[in-house]
Amino acid sequence: MTAERTARIEALLTEAFSPDHILVKDQSHLHAGHAGSRDGRGHFEVMIVADSFAGQSRIACHRLIYDALGQLMNTDIHALSIRASAKNTDEST
């Protein structure tokens, strides 16, 4: 199920942002026993580079990503570490 979740997150973000680079890592194993992991939801790290993030604040980028992930934020994801930036810039959130 973990690989399926990671692939689904990547697919949703790719569809929403057409990124130049995307990496989704499942870090659930680092949080075994944590309250969020007991209910079956996972901990993930996302690194994404896309034009959509140009000129956006960190909070705006995070909201865009949460919106793209939709219901997964309630059913499959307990925690999400995000590094989002626009290509060819030094902006990183």
pLDDT in tens, 42-93: 899 999 999 999 999 999 999 999 999 999 999 999 899 999 999 765 444 5
> Distance between alpha carbon 64 and the CA centroid of its chain, in Å?
10
Is the CA virtual torsion 48, 5, 59, 53 positive or negative? Answer: positive
Which pLDDT score is estimated for 82?
98
The confidence score (pLDDT) of residue 84 equals 97
pLDDT over 80 at 16, yes or no: yes
Q: Which CATH entry fits the domain spanning 2-85: 3.40.50.1370, 2.40.128.20, 3.40.50.1220, 3.30.300.90?
A: 3.30.300.90
- The pTM score is 0.85
3-state helix, strand, coil in the chain (%, to 5): 45, 25, 30
Exposed/middle/buried for 4, CB within 10 Å: 0-12, 13-18, 19+?
Answer: exposed
